[in-house]
Structure 1
Amino acid sequence: MPSTQRSFASDNYAPAHPAVLAALTAANVGHAGSYGADPWTERLQESVRHHFGEAATAYPVFNGTGANVVALTSMLPRWGAVVTSEHAHVHQDENGAPERVGGIKLLTVPAPDGKLTPGAIDRFVGDLGDQHRAQPLVVSITQATELGTVYSPDEIRAISDHAHAAGLRVHLDGARLANAAAALGVSLRETTTDVGVDVVSFGGTKNGLLFGEAVVVLDPDAAQGVDFVRKMTMQLASKMRFVSAQLTALLEDDLWRTSAAHANAMATRLRAALSPATTTGEVPDGGTPAAPSGLTFSQPTQANAVFAVLPRAVAEALRADFAFYDWAAAAPDPVTGDERVEVRWMCSWDTTPEDVDAFAAAVRTARFD
């Protein structure tokens, strides 16, 4: 049985959106061609071209790790390497899949706010042509980042221009691309194709899909043999219509934006409910007085994640009623010496204002002393 405990652990915890389930039911009629030779996958291609540009092609896969492995493997020769953030999902949370499955060397750089800068690429560009070094041929960024921050289109354009000038391609891990685009108020194309991204791993599972993501190739010259890589990495679905139907449901009628914008709004509500009152004595977004001073925020809330630091004992007490993850150990309280932890609170398409308010109330009434 599913847990009745309300989760702020991950948008992966949320159920599938009813519109996605309806699309699956509609696709579950009669026989259809396998391995993508079906009307649903053809319709998906039309939707992808509408959202990403006429040159875009989608390759549906089972999951986000698979999307990243397929994308990066198709973008690189055997001697190629990827420049990415120290926080990148491909580096921290995929159990070495890019290295083990794709044979890809990852070259990580510090990114305190989760975002790469053009200058960070230069750390490895000098290795180009050196036979003793893995060749940095792709830059991979995450939008929204693993720390909940969001690249502006101008920031991505600067990275793309810098990378392309050095002969590198640009991959975007878009597990939460919908949340970033909704937060920025831009189209999917405006934060990918129009700013020089070459290949996207487009996420669906964190935004209401039952399963499924897609590798979206924006520049056909940037990826080679995607069909073959997808098959050999075990990401080719025989009944692809059931992946494609879900992705199409997400893209059509802008369900991707509606769901992501709601998740973002719930994170903003949570942040406001736990933030200090304004100088006029009002509390942002209709919240109530702030949590005790033992709680601080460690990153800006720009999409659907809230990162906070609080006493470990408080985090453990809250977890009795609400699921969420510890992100990293934090420095002890400078006054009491108590152990503290950085936590991540995620909101999803089905998070309600009542969920947020109940959680915020629990945080505010927790014993911080």
Structure 2
Amino acid sequence: MADAPTVTEQLASDAVRRHDPDARGFASDNYAGVHPEVLTALALANGGHQISYGGDVYTAHLQDLFRDRFGPDTEVFPVFNGTGANVTALQAVTERWGAVICAESAHVHVDECGAPERVGGLKLLTVPTPDGKLTPELIDRQAYGFDDEHRAQPQVVTLAQTTELGTCYTPEEIAAICAHAHQLGMTVHMDGSRIANAAATLGVPFARFTSEAGVDILSFGGTKNGLLFGECVVVLSPERVRSIRYLRKMSMQLASKMRFVSVQFEALLAGDLWQRSAAHANAMARRLADAVRAVDGVTVSYPVESNAVFAVLPREVTERLQKRFRFYTWDESTGQVRWMCAFDTTEADVDAFAAAVAEEMAA
């Protein structure tokens, strides 16, 4: 029987680097690589055998870590990705005839390929919003028909923190939504794919605008803040949530080698890595917004409250810029584009891009 490989042999690989590690774009924070501290954590969790499917010591420790951040009743369930987290969480707080109220721009509505409806079996009741944020008054546009057997029953309000438009709810705004939803007998879910960016903007602990504000269940994002893969479903009100262990498995979100998901969140949350990475990305977005506002003809669409900048450009300028830097057109009809910054975006990256915007606008 052959001996286990040595450390030197483990580092050897036949894989080849096939990209330029210095390349940067502004299309998505998902484009960024893995934070070096997270890679170190993954290496620490490697080697030896650990119980699979969440029975490992890293996942056990994760429970205490999230309770420190969100409160003693918190339960955490690591999953593979954000859509999986949202679908699993929403299934756990709805009946088969249940409906979910969300912003018209919400990720669950526009960017999950119908997964909440087709996989989760849920009806999404959308509300137009001027800035991506729900309010009690906007929720009331869909919060009706209770006990009407002809209508899918509104049972959940889902809000994104930060929103798909880069805006950020205040703790008071979330508390008002939660109080209103609970008064109507509904549960509140938060899509927190960029929750770290929100906490960094607000300058408050996670609990201040989640558990303390009345949020019942949360999708906690890590991939957009430097993780290799993985998100978490965080149960904040156990009495409102049912059968999530089974739903996670049924939704194909139960990782066999879960220690490698859990240890990444330990690296993120045990210290201040989450805050350092998110605050830096936010700062780079503000730097970019300040620079392009000075360019004649460029309009920044929304307040820059996270790591996203939305702007309106002439179509021909966008097309030329996209040959130099990757980014997405958000609304073809208006010419609105989206620029995202990440934990590894540098001031030089931002300045080079802003200069390119100015050059193309002048041309």
Tell me the amino acid that sits aligned with residue 226 of structure 1: I
Matches within 5 A, 1:335-350: 341-350=335-344
Could you tell me which runs of 5 or more consecutive residues in structure 2 were left unpaired when the two chains were aligned. 1-17
- The percent of aligned pairs where both chains have the same amino acid is 60
**Distance in 1 separating the partners of 2:84 and 2:100:** 16
**Distance in 2 separating the partners of 1:295 and 1:139:** 35
Query: Could you say which residue in structure 2 is the equivalent of 1:41?
Result: 59
Query: Could you say which residue in structure 2 is the equivalent of 1:291?
Result: 295
Count of residue correspondences: 345
Query: Could you say which residue in structure 1 is the equivalent of 2:98?
Result: 80
**Distance in 1 separating the partners of 2:67 and 2:133:** 28
State which of 39, 43, 47 in structure 2 corresponds to 1:25.
43
Give the TM-score normalised by the residue count of structure 2: 0.93
Distance apart, 1:368 and its partner CA: 4.8
Distance apart, 1:308 and its partner CA: 0.1
Matched, 1:351 2:345: yes
Query: Could you say which residue in structure 1 is the equivalent of 2:169?
Result: 151
Distance apart, 1:330 and its partner CA: 3.9
Give the TM-score normalised by the residue count of structure 1: 0.92
Query: Could you say which residue in structure 2 is the equivalent of 1:322?
Result: 325
What secondary structure sits across from 1:274 in the alignment?
Answer: helix
Distance apart, 1:273 and its partner CA: 1.2
Distance apart, 1:14 and its partner CA: 0.3
Query: Could you say which residue in structure 1 is the equivalent of 2:5?
Result: none
Tell me the amino acid that sits aligned with residue 191 of structure 2: D
Matched, 1:70 2:88: yes
Moved more, 349-358 or 3-12: 3-12
**Distance in 2 separating the partners of 1:12 and 1:189:** 25
State which of 98, 111, 116 in structure 1 corresponds to 2:134.
116
Given that 1:5 and 1:323 are in contact with CA atoms closer than 8 Å, whether structure 2 keeps it comes out as no
**Distance in 2 separating the partners of 1:238 and 1:2:** 30
Matched, 1:363 2:357: yes
**Distance in 2 separating the partners of 1:194 and 1:258:** 23
**Distance in 1 separating the partners of 2:362 and 2:173:** 39
Tell me the amino acid that sits aligned with residue 175 of structure 1: S
Tell me the amino acid that sits aligned with residue 222 of structure 2: G
Query: Could you say which residue in structure 1 is the equivalent of 2:310?
Result: 307
Given that 1:23 and 1:249 are in contact with CA atoms closer than 8 Å, whether structure 2 keeps it comes out as yes
State which of 14, 19, 33 in structure 2 corresponds to 1:2.
19
Given that 1:8 and 1:323 are in contact with CA atoms closer than 8 Å, whether structure 2 keeps it comes out as yes
Give the RMSD, CA atoms, in angstroms. Answer: 1.0
What secondary structure sits across from 1:367 in the alignment?
Answer: helix
Distance apart, 1:329 and its partner CA: 2.2
**Distance in 1 separating the partners of 2:102 and 2:19:** 36
Given that 1:10 and 1:346 are in contact with CA atoms closer than 8 Å, whether structure 2 keeps it comes out as yes
Query: Could you say which residue in structure 2 is the equivalent of 1:285?
Result: none
Given that 1:309 and 1:330 are in contact with CA atoms closer than 8 Å, whether structure 2 keeps it comes out as no
Could you tell me which runs of 5 or more consecutive residues in structure 1 were left unpaired when the two chains were aligned. 276-289, 332-340
Distance apart, 1:125 and its partner CA: 2.3
Structure 1 runs (4+) deviating above 4 angstroms are: none
Matches within 5 A, 1:54-203: 54-203=72-221
Matches within 5 A, 1:224-263: 224-263=242-281
Distance apart, 1:5 and its partner CA: 4.1
**Distance in 2 separating the partners of 1:11 and 1:344:** 11
Tell me the amino acid that sits aligned with residue 251 of structure 1: L
